[in-house]
Amino acid sequence: MKLRHLIEPTDFSITELEELFKLADLIIKNPLEYSFKCKGKILVTLFYEPSTRTRFSFEAAMLRLGGSVLGFSDPNSSSTTKGETLTDTIRIVSGYSDIVVIRHPVEGGPKAASLFSNVPIINAGDGGHQHPTQTLTDLYTIRAKFGRLDHLKIGICGDLKYGRTTHSLVNAMSRYPGNEFVFISPEELCMPENIKKALASDNKPGYHECRTIEEAISELDILYMTRIQRERFTDLNEYDRVKDSCILDTEKMKLAGENMIVLHPLPRVNEIHHDVDNDKRACYFLQAENGMYVRMALLMLLLDRTGSFYQNMASETAGFVISTEESEECTNPKCITKIEPPLKQRIKLYSDGRKICDYCGTHIESCCTYEE
């Protein structure tokens, strides 16, 4: 049977997302009714990078559903230190478990894992690429606050270059009609060109860019703050130059509308002053709490192989073909194919000529295809 994985937000249709959110609503209303839904099931959590919210909320989710949890939060305690590849680890642990959650520093790691797994794989963050379960949490919180996911103006602020949560949020929210984005960041950390170009094409929602919170805050429904991702900088002097560039405080909150909400995937460093926590528009702790309930719903839906997520599955190759030519190589030095060379290249060829790495999402030859 073909498996369902969650590697990027668009792996689920809008209808499936709504089904997941409705299930999370029901779980929140009556959690005890769900306490045995995953009895006998085992979740494995492989965290090759630090985590507090994502790992604990997944583990709490499985325990609250009556299942069990195995895993590591420090790869140094696994055979990775002996040189074992991610794909070999997955072949082993997928034989011991029913579902696997992976956070990996290398872009495309969870996608590679999904090709070698006998059980569903959930991407809990891969390098600077994607973080789809954070996006489920973000969308669920937005839906709870506004009663809808369309016709919203979303300011995304901070590290838009390396912040995987921002990439997944744009991917997900751009599928709903009428949404508009404002990208607020220093020039060095602006949203990657590929993401902006995808927004500019296909009649997707519009965006504009600015450098300060003050320029945008009064027009926003949502201000999504993010941490500058220190661990992804190759030059720490550059980190020092940009680390304090966008900070939200109570003075700036005075410029915002009374129904605007502030979200943050957390952890924060200094980008939101602690005084803002007392403002009723600050929703980031609620957002973190929601994370456990949406992950409960996600585990239930991916584990139920006779359920709706396994019926009417869209073909994996809808809209594109995977190139099998060995000459097509991903150009991203941070792609999993560069770290685990036995992996076959998988370049998606679209009918409009775009070529995108199926692991890390890099647009191949984008300089020739897209630049003016």
Contacts with ligand NCD by CB under 6 A lie at 53-54, 125, 131, 134, 164-165, 227, 265-266
Nearest to 171 by CA among 186, 190, 156, 189: 156
Q: In angstroms, what is the minimal distance from the CB of 263 to ligand NCD? A: 11
Active-site residue, selected from the candidate residues 53, 175, 211, 273:
53
Nearest to 44 by CA among 10, 67, 14: 67
Active-site residue, selected from the candidate residues 4, 129, 131, 354:
131
H-type alpha helices, 244-314: 250-253, 284-303
Determine the angle formed by the axes of helices 284-303 and 14-29, rounding to 10 degrees: 110
Q: In angstroms, what is the minimal distance from the CB of 131 to ligand NCD? A: 5
Q: In angstroms, what is the minimal distance from the CB of 281 to ligand NCD? A: 20
Q: Which residue has the tokens 């396994």?
A: 310
Handedness of CA 323, 91, 300, 290 (dihedral sign): negative
Amino acid at 338: K
Q: Which is nearer to ligand NCD, 102 or 343 (CB)?
A: 102
Q: How far is CA 364 from CA 67, 325, 331, 359, in A?
A: 42, 14, 6, 12
Q: Which is nearer to ligand NCD, 51 or 337 (CB)?
A: 51
Catalytic annotation on 344?
no
Q: Which is nearer to ligand NCD, 192 or 265 (CB)?
A: 265
Q: Which is nearer to ligand NCD, 104 or 164 (CB)?
A: 164
Catalytic annotation on 82?
yes
Q: In angstroms, what is the minimal distance from the CB of 74 to ligand NCD? A: 16
Active-site residue, selected from the candidate residues 2, 29, 81, 82:
82
Q: In angstroms, what is the minimal distance from the CB of 1 to ligand NCD? A: 30
R_g over Cα of the chain: 20
Q: In angstroms, what is the minimal distance from the CB of 37 to ligand NCD? A: 24
Amino acid at 240: D
Q: Which is nearer to ligand NCD, 41 or 104 (CB)?
A: 104
H-type alpha helices, 118-256: 132-146, 164-173, 193-200, 213-216, 236-242, 250-253
Q: Which is nearer to ligand NCD, 264 or 354 (CB)?
A: 264
Nearest to 154 by CA among 228, 227, 262: 262
Q: In angstroms, what is the minimal distance from the CB of 309 to ligand NCD? A: 23
Alpha carbon distance 97, 93 (integer Å) = 6
Residues belonging to the chain: 372
Alpha carbon distance 324, 352 (integer Å) = 18
Catalytic annotation on 91?
no
Structural tokens at position 1 = 């049977």
The helix or strand, by DSSP H or E, that contains position 255, with its residue range, turns out to be: none
Q: Which is nearer to ligand NCD, 225 or 347 (CB)?
A: 225
Active-site residue, selected from the candidate residues 4, 5, 54, 264:
54
Task: Say if residue 9 is preceded by a cis peptide, omega within 30 of 0.
Answer: no
Catalytic annotation, residues: 53-54, 82, 103, 131
